[in-house]
Amino acid sequence: MPEPIRLAILASGSGSNAVSILEHFQTLSHVEVAFVGCNRSSKKAAIYERTRSYGIETEFFSIADLQEGRLLKIFREREVEWVALAGFLVRIPADFVRAFSDRMLNVHPSLLPKFGGQGMYGLNVHKAVIEAGESESGMTVHWVTEEYDEGAIVFQATCVVETNDTPELLAARVLQLEHTYFPRSIAACIADKTER
């Protein structure tokens, strides 16, 4: 039996997408979550408590750790092979992108290329979608590049924008799509690359 693929998850907030990934891969022996990290402290992010119930301690790292290569060094030491950005709000440095070229995926709460780029995260995205009068929104899984939200699209799922939607209501529906399809997209991409 081959060794499982080692996956790292990076997040900045509540960790709900991280938990959906953990749940998905709990039952699959070919992928192991080897690292969960957050760039905000346990006082500011709920992910630490959430992953603990899955037997995984979320580890804090600073923006400097990311930008100056210390996090990349940790990943190499732990033999991390794939990275999932699950609500991670920091630009990934070029050397990190190169190290995980075609092995790093992000989930974004809109139908890219619409409503992507710097500042387009969280409720900002859903507010912009509603204000633009869009009839549908959704989520996008894409490969990570050095630019925000510009990597090739892997998967999209849509939902209707209701006439009485608030950013919060729309966000909740899009988040459900993320929880359902982001883990499946990661698994499909890993399977595709592994089988080649």
- Please report, to the nearest 10 degrees, the dihedral formed by the alpha carbons of residues 124, 86, 118, 60 taken in order: 110
For residue 139, give every residue at least 6 positions away whose Cβ sits within 8 Å of its Cβ, in sequence order, or none: 107, 108, 109, 110, 111, 156, 157, 174, 177, 178, 181, 182
User: 24, 30, 108, 179: which is the annotated catalytic residue?
Assistant: 108
* The two three-digit tokens of residue 182, written as one number: 């982001």
* The two three-digit tokens of residue 150, written as one number: 């510009």
Show the DSSP H helices in 78-166 as ranges: 94-99, 123-131
Check if 24 is active-site.
no
Distance CA 145, CA 93 (A): 9
* Residues with active-site annotation: 108
